[in-house]
Structure 1
Amino acid sequence: MPDFKKGTLAQKATRPLAFGLAAVTAIAAALFVMSSTSGKAAEDAVVIPPPAIDETASTTTEKAVFAGGCFWGVQGVFQHVKGVKNAVSGYSGGTRETATYETVSGGDTGHAESVEVTYNPQEVTYGQLLQIYFSVAHNPTQLNFQGPDHGTQYRSEIFTTNGEQKKIAQSYIAQLDKAKVYGGPVVTKVSDMTAFYPAEAYHQDFLTLNPTYPYIVYNDMPKIDNLKALFPKKFSANPVLVLKAKG
């Protein structure tokens, strides 16, 4: 959804508004035609090495929280990863009182649009999730924005749930910076997880339920294609959906 307090009309109108999806879709379709002639989506995939250190799995269920721009695309990517049991869009970094889309969109709540990933570390490790996050899910060199979405709520941040995750994430960022795999330094923050608040129901499974929506077509569907191409052994053609995971 758009934030009418920041950014250009093109940035805002490419995500649906509460006053009517159909109306905004018409606007977005026109803007999509314009933007698609000007170049590729900003979040292109980058081939990167796996992390030098990874977790030692002793359980079958763990959680990880990632922020990397609009949660639609980040959620959609992780929903297609084998070993992921659930991926929920939500908010991290702020308080419960401000964990609503309209409030977070103001950019001053401390929240970031985030995705809570529940996974089986014996099928996909934390390090492998990080590799997908840094390679496919977003561009970690963009400070407080991601593609067309601008504001601190779209920042790149990893919220770690334990000391091992924090060590792995910090080590991997240092490794990627040293390898100079991007055109600039990694700006991703690593923070201790305090709380995760699920987003509104209409945000959940948005990519899967709306694959032809212009914003999704231009900014997010290429991420799914990149995931399949770069990580074929980890790609699942059948995404795990929040509705089914809850059931």
Structure 2
Amino acid sequence: MKISRIIGFFLCLVFLVSMSLLPVYAEISENSENETRPAYSKGDLNGDGQITSVDYLMLKRIFLGTLTPTVQQLFAADVNKDGKIASVDYLMVRRYFYQTYYFPPDVLQTQIPLTEEQIETIKMDYVEYFKAEYGEEHVESVTVSDIIVGDYYGPYSSCYSLFISHREVGWPDAITSEFVAGYEFVYPDGQTLTVYKDSSFVNLETAYETGLISEDDIQDLYWYFNPNRFK
């Protein structure tokens, strides 16, 4: 009896939320059907690289408390990024599966964030890299507070892909691009992606050519980097 009441309450919530979803996102994604995406990206609860009925049923069970999620599943289930699993998340995934809704770009780009400790380590390593690159005698006063860690696009083969720079280093302020493994990465402000591993920093092309990241990694990274391809 208690379970039936919970399910009834859940279905009522789903109906109410369906009436309140913003219409700006109620568009069909032309490329969503059978698309392969990175495992455990938003909506992919079973990690198979697709959003299917299995995913929204798993999300429903997590919401009802009949399935204990892993950390990755919990991340994938919180589609609207409010820090909790609710009926709105279930509805978003279900509607995405039926192609009556697409995830906004800020949702598609979401990765499990770096911790403060990880960011601090990356900044300290970048200070040493920066001094070695430009000559310590010229940049002796560089500190961690001078380093800016921008958008982060996730871990790939034990590497981290992100934007990072010194606050006083300028970029050409012009659109640039690079082709890596057949994928074009376009940078509107001229700053290119950096790949970080074991205190070393290289550009995306070098990381791929030297085997730090694989072609599959590039494909997943491109998926996160270009969310507007769905529009």
TM-score using structure 1 length: 0.25
Rg larger in structure: 2
